[in-house]
Every structure is written in structure tokens, then in C-alpha cells.
Structure 1
Amino acid sequence: ESNIRAIMESIIISHNMTCAYTSIVTVHGEVLHNEQYHHPLQTGDLLLADVGAETNLGWASDVTRTWPVSGKFSPTQRDIYDVVLAAHDTCIAQIKPGIEYLDIHLLAAQVIAEGLVNLGILKGEVEDLVEMDAHALFFPHGIGHLLGLDVHDMEDLGDLAGYEIGRERSSRFGLGFLRLNRPLIPGMLVTIEPGFYQVPGILNDKEMRQKYQDIVNWEKLEKFDDVRGIRIEDDVLVTPNGAEVLTQELPSDIDSIENLVE
């Protein structure tokens, strides 16, 4: 992990830029802000790299890709990656002025819940699963955040910038970590970063296990034990007519990633 981190950050430095934040480069993607880099890369691992540069003018980027160390996704890794990518692509396609960022988050939740139902991991109707925050067992954070002169722009002011006046952060499991709750306007730069994580502290929590005992097919979930964490993150500029993905040069589809890693 440390070797990969060093290579990636050296490229940023070689372009006379700095890192916008402490990089996350880990085979333990289930640790959302993992700042340890001592694990050796093993065949069968997925490597999650969340690395962004900051320009001389101070503008930050925030990008995440996840790829198989071996160069090939396993069938189970491919299945989960497809679910996350579907959420990523569906959300970006809906971004335009006037759209509520909360609705983009809920759209990601619906796509992820539907994908996990189709894989046999979750049981029930998609709308009901999202309402009871079942998706948040595997997607516990928000769909993204503001991006600008800081990677989590203006968050030193708490929710003052991220939340529209009169709105407060929800206490719901599936909404409490949403960093942005405003209608999108032209010129706004946001991240879109759906993910799937098997966080032991969530999945092994007694209250969670009891609450979702009949919602999760725990036996089926065990078959996906080679998927610790997957995140796909891009930086999206809201334009007058829609959106522009500023980080689209970095491929996110499975075939392109496998070709690059090989």
C-alpha cells in the first residue's frame, strides 16, 4: 500500500502540486478513512485509492477508484462493483440545476438496494428497504460533498454551507452522514461517491443484527467476503444545462480497469 501511495503522490508532486488531503490507499476499503499503509497487496484483494491533488491556486480534487490487485475482478467482486457503478452513473446522469442533492443521495440508495436485492443479499421491496435504511448497512455515508478550495469545502463552518437555511441534519442511520443538503445550482462542484463496505462495527453490531435479521440474507452475504470495500468517486461540475464530470479521464468501467491493471 505504501509503495502505491508513494508512486501516486510522486506524480502529483512532479506536476508542482500538493495532495489535497491525506491519501487513502488500502486493501481494507471497509475502513472509510484508513490512514494505514502497511498491508502487502495479495492476490484476491481489492485496492481502494482515494487520492486528490491541489493546484497552485488552491483548488482541490477528490477522486477514488477501486481495482483488483490481480488484474481481474472475481465474480463476486464484479457483481458488487457493478452495483456501485450503476449507482455512480445513474446519479451523475441526474445532476442538473434545481435538483436536490438529497434526492441524488436517495437515488444512490435505491440503486444500491435494488442491486443487493437482485444479488440475494437484501430481501424486500426497494422502497421499503431504503425507508428502513437497510442500504446503509453497506453504504453508511452520504453520496458526496461540496468541493472547492478545500476537499470538504466550507465544512469548518459545520453545516452552514452544506445545508440550506432551515434544514437540519437528520438523525436517521441512512441520512445522518449526508454532508450536503441543498438544491444544485450552476457553478457548484460536488463529488459523487457511492460505495459498498462490509464494516465489522456495523454488520456485527447486536442491535443492527437484530433490526435487520430478516432483511439481510447473512448466509448469502458470506459468499461476498472478498469484497471489503468498493468506492467510485468523481468530481462533477453543475453547468447551466446539466453537468460536466471533471475527472472522466480516469476510467471506472470494469473492462477498462482490468486492461489498465494487467
Structure 2
Amino acid sequence: MKDWRLIYIIFAKSEDKLYISNKNRQAYFVLLSVCIIFVRINLKNCNVMFDKETYVQRRALLKKNIGSGVLLFLGNDEQGLNYEDNAFRYRQDSTFLYYFGLSFAGLSAIIDIDEDKEIIFGDELTIDHIVWMGTQPTLKEKSERVGIRETLPSAAIISYLHKAVQKGQTVHYLPPYRPEHKLKLMDWLGIPPARQEGSVPFIRAVVAQRNYKSAEEITEIEKACDVTADMHIKAMEVIRPGMYEYEVVAEMNRVAEMNNCELSFPTIATINGQTLHNHYHGNKIKSGDLFLIDAGAELPSGYCGDMSSTVPADKTFTSKQRAVYEIQNAMHLESVKALRPGIPYMEVYDLSARVMVEGLKGLGLMKGNADDAVREGAHALFYPHGLGHMMGLDVHDMENLGEVWVGYNGQPKSTQFGRKSQRLAIPLEPGFVHTVEPGIYFIPELIDMWKEGKKFTDFINYDKLEEYRDFGGIRNEEDYLITETGARRLGKKIPLTPEEVEALR
């Protein structure tokens, strides 16, 4: 049986301890119970994304770029939902996945550059685990699949790190984002949570690798984008007045699960599109509503898709809806045309904002010079978020490492409302994968606050705006790969123009 191994385990229970027995030892044990377990282990079923050499090369480049010290990688643990054994869906830390490829809870790892060691720390499963979880490859077998030869028990990492500190080695770690990470750093290295900022050389080295997607990564991302597109198309097909939002979400979830995918983030599917991240799905859809969807699929490998679409509850847009939708559509299409290596993505954001201002001037909602309006921030009343973000193993790729490093190359971000939410500003380069997602929103509370404060009255026609205060919001989003000569959309095309959307209704 190719790739399978048949193991006979004879065990005896004595004084609540489990013993693996053989012919030479059986005479020495009092057998209270004997059981033969026939175990077949498929070593290919080890949840490893890519070939071993991929991980070996990634770690080698990381070591070369940092040069010295000990690199600490904190894998994620299981998290109880409402009690310990009823856990949230497990998701491994993405940087751990990138360098070690193992999606199993309870692991940590070090790369000791000075001593030329790579070690994964974790504990082997007991018979109790196997009874409840089934047969699993050993930690050593898992580790060998990604080119790691040395494994040690979880507790051994503490003494290893203490010795490294005593020898004067620098221990590099990434910014923690989960409570158990913060507790471990405090316990293992004595660093209180308020000072756990992470190692800048480590952060920059990881970003310098993960920002550029390899061919095998792009293949995975494109698969996720295909499923994501199918989720959106299904929603566009089924939505009707009288349905509840959660019924549409259920159809999208069905598409994801039929393709063995999880969600890359909690789905946004709402008639209240003016709320940027609205995860409530209990509203009844009415005739005349606009329905905004922002959703994505995540493959078993961890790679993500992220798309948005906006569709009328009825078979066609109203004239008012169509007019605003066409402006948003122009923002999107002009942004896509501008994508190419070398252009700062902040410039593309500014372009999308100027297109919006000119369009809203045509509706009587804005006035004045578009360049001035965007520079001063008047556009953010309608467009209070950024144009897009990096995407890969995280839907907002590496956001836990800090946007200032991922999207700004260490340069400070703007503090201006709207512009400060632009996650990606640096010049685009071949290998970047990012989203394009401009939007137009009419947020009553924000409109009232700005109107009362007489903000940007040279650019905003507040009297005309009263006609749109209950309009909602529109956002469409696609995922793009920057190539040597321009950009390529990833995944199937979702309906984007008003005509394409209505044809699907």
C-alpha cells in the first residue's frame, strides 16, 4: 500500500499510565486490558501547502536577510468559544504557515541563525487525543515534511530562549496579536505586553518576502478568488425582495463549503451598505433596497480571496441608484487602468477620489475644484476608506505586522480622515497582490456632523445631499496581481457594470 504504513500497537493500562509493549517487555507488565489498534497513517495527509524545498528556501532567505540572532515564531493555539473543548475554527498564524507550513495547534519554532539550528517545539499526541481525533502523523514526521529535522517538547523552548539571552543573542519576535502570544512573551522573555512591539528587522525581512507572491502562491490565490467570485454570483442570482439577509449569506456559505473553503473574514451582506463593516444579517430585504456584499473564501492552504459587489433588490437599479453606481463603477475602472509597476498606490487612490468628486458634481452633491477637494479631504464624506490592501495568506496581508511596514515601507501614514484608512501607499511592484475597492456612501450621522460643523462648504452641497441621506452605500471590489507590464485580475470576473449586474437578475 503505497504511502501508507501499518502499525500494530499493543498497549496495557496499569496505574493509569499507557505503555507501548513488545514481546520482550510483556512479561514485566500486569495487563489489565489489551487492545490492538491497526493504524494506517497517510503521510501525504499532513496539511502542508507546498513542497519541502519551498519552506527550506524561504527560511534560508530569511536567515540571510537578518544575519544573526534567534528568530521566534509563535504558532496559534486552540481558543475556546464558550468553554475550552468547544473551540473556534482553528487558524494557524500566517507567518508560521509561510515558513513552516504546518497548520496544527500548539506549535512554536525558532531559527537560531548563529548556531545554524531550526527547531519546531510541540508535544506528541497521547492515546486520548488519538481516540477523539483519529490517527495523526507524529510531530517529527510533520516537521520533516517541511525540512525541519529537530523537534523538542513545547516546554523546552523556555530553557532554549533563556540560554540564548544568557549568551547575548538577540531574540527577534513579531508583534503579538493574540492573548496567548502576549502571555508567552511575558513568561518566556519577561517582556510585559505594553512593551511587546516586535523586532523591526524581523518585521521588515518578513514583509520583504511575503509582499512578493510566487507562482505557486498565485495559483492558490487564484483558486480562492474563483470560489469568491462564485459566492458573489450566487448571491446576485438569488436575492429578491422579501428574503432575509441571512438567507443570501446561507447561499454564499454553501458555495464556499461545496468547494472545501472557509470564509476569509466574516461576511458583510447588508441593505445598510453605508455601514462599512456591517456583520448583522437579520434585516428583511425590501423592494428599492441596495444590497452590498463583501465576502471571500479561504482555501485549506490559508490563501484568501476578497471581493465586493452591490446589487439592487429588484431586477433593475432605480435611476438614482444607477447614477451613483455608474460613478462608483468609473472610480473602479479608472483605478484598474492605472495599475502598473512603479505607480504609488496612493496616487491611484487620489485618482479614484477625483473621479468620484467629478461624478458627484454632476449630481449637484459636490462643487469646486476636484484636486483641491481631494487634497483637503472633502471627498471623505462619501469615501471614508482606502482603495485597497495587500492580500495573500491574510485577507489584509500581514496587517498584524503593521500597515506602516507593509503598505508604507516605514514612512508615516496620513492622519487625515479617509486618507488615513488607505492601507497601501507604496509604489506597486511585480508580484504584489492587492484589492481595488473604491466606494461611495451616504452616512447620515457623518453628514449631520459635518453639516453642523460647516465642514467643506466650498465643496459639499448639503441641501442637495438631504435627498440622498437614506441612499445606503455602493462598493465593488476585485483582486489584482501586478505583473511586469501592468496588472491582471485574479479569479473569475464578477458582474461589475450596471448592465452586467442587471443581466444576472
TM-score range relative to shorter protein: over 0.9
Are 1:196 and 2:443 matched, yes or no? no
User: Kindly tell me: are residues 243 and 206 of structure 1, through their superposed partners in 2, closer, same or farther at Cα, counting changes over 3 Å?
Assistant: closer
In the TM superposition, what whole-angstrom CA distance separates every residue of 1:9-32 from its partner, at most 9, and x where no partner exists? Answer: 110110111110000000000110
In the TM superposition, what whole-angstrom CA distance separates every residue of 1:32-72 from its partner, at most 9, and x where no partner exists? Answer: 01010010000000000111001122110100000000111
**% identity of equivalent residues:** 39
Q: Which whole-Å CA distance do the structure 1 matches of 2:491 and 2:366 have between them?
A: 32
Q: Which one of 407, 417, 429 corresponds to residue 185 of structure 1?
A: 429
Preserved CA contact (<8 Å) 1:99 1:184: yes
Are 1:118 and 2:362 matched, yes or no? yes
Counterpart position of 1:157: 401
The alpha carbon displacement at 1:212 in A equals 2.4
Q: Which whole-Å CA distance do the structure 2 matches of 1:143 and 1:221 have between them?
A: 23
The AA in structure 2 aligned to 1:130 is: V
Write out aligned runs for 1:97-246 (5 A).
Answer: 97-159=341-403, 160-165=405-410, 167-206=411-450, 209-225=453-469, 227-246=471-490
Preserved CA contact (<8 Å) 2:303 2:393: yes
In the TM superposition, what whole-angstrom CA distance separates every residue of 1:133-175 from its partner, at most 9, and x where no partner exists? Answer: 111100000001000100000000122212113x111011231
The alpha carbon displacement at 1:224 in A equals 2.9
The alpha carbon displacement at 1:241 in A equals 0.9
Q: Which whole-Å CA distance do the structure 1 matches of 2:451 and 2:495 have between them?
A: 39
Q: Which whole-Å CA distance do the structure 2 matches of 1:40 and 1:119 have between them?
A: 30
Q: Secondary structure at the match of 1:127?
A: helix
Q: Which one of 294, 299, 323 corresponds to residue 79 of structure 1?
A: 323
Preserved CA contact (<8 Å) 1:203 1:209: no
Q: Which whole-Å CA distance do the structure 2 matches of 1:248 and 1:209 have between them?
A: 45
Counterpart position of 1:48: 292
Preserved CA contact (<8 Å) 2:444 2:469: no
User: Kindly tell me: are residues 248 and 81 of structure 1, through their superposed partners in 2, closer, same or farther at Cα, counting changes over 3 Å?
Assistant: farther
In the TM superposition, what whole-angstrom CA distance separates every residue of 1:222-254 from its partner, at most 9, and x where no partner exists? Answer: 333452100010001101110011145211010
The alpha carbon displacement at 1:218 in A equals 2.1
Determine which structure has greater relative contact order: mean sequence separation of CA pairs < 8 Å that are 6+ residues apart, divided by chain length. Answer: 1
Preserved CA contact (<8 Å) 2:444 2:470: no
The AA in structure 1 aligned to 2:406 is: A
Q: Which whole-Å CA distance do the structure 2 matches of 1:208 and 1:192 have between them?
A: 33
Q: Which whole-Å CA distance do the structure 2 matches of 1:133 and 1:21 have between them?
A: 29
User: Kindly tell me: are residues 143 and 81 of structure 1, through their superposed partners in 2, closer, same or farther at Cα, counting changes over 3 Å?
Assistant: same
The runs of 5 or more residues in structure 2 that have no matched partner are: 1-244
Q: Which whole-Å CA distance do the structure 1 matches of 2:347 and 2:301 have between them?
A: 32
Preserved CA contact (<8 Å) 1:20 1:60: yes
Q: Which whole-Å CA distance do the structure 2 matches of 1:247 and 1:135 have between them?
A: 31
User: Kindly tell me: are residues 97 and 138 of structure 1, through their superposed partners in 2, closer, same or farther at Cα, counting changes over 3 Å?
Assistant: same
Q: Which whole-Å CA distance do the structure 1 matches of 2:482 and 2:266 have between them?
A: 26
Structure 1 residue runs of 4+, over 4 Å off? 206-209
The AA in structure 2 aligned to 1:82 is: E
Preserved CA contact (<8 Å) 1:202 1:208: no
Q: Which whole-Å CA distance do the structure 2 matches of 1:242 and 1:214 have between them?
A: 37
The AA in structure 2 aligned to 1:164 is: N
Q: TM-score, normalised by structure 2?
A: 0.50
Q: Which whole-Å CA distance do the structure 2 matches of 1:52 and 1:15 have between them?
A: 12
The AA in structure 2 aligned to 1:201 is: E
Q: Secondary structure at the match of 2:249?
A: helix
Counterpart position of 2:131: none
The AA in structure 1 aligned to 2:375 is: E
Counterpart position of 1:4: 248
Preserved CA contact (<8 Å) 2:304 2:395: yes
Q: Which whole-Å CA distance do the structure 2 matches of 1:90 and 1:179 have between them?
A: 19
Counterpart position of 1:15: 259
Preserved CA contact (<8 Å) 1:190 1:237: yes
Q: Which whole-Å CA distance do the structure 1 matches of 2:350 and 2:431 have between them?
A: 22
Preserved CA contact (<8 Å) 2:434 2:481: yes
Q: TM-score, normalised by structure 1?
A: 0.95
Structure having the higher Rg? 2
The AA in structure 2 aligned to 1:156 is: N
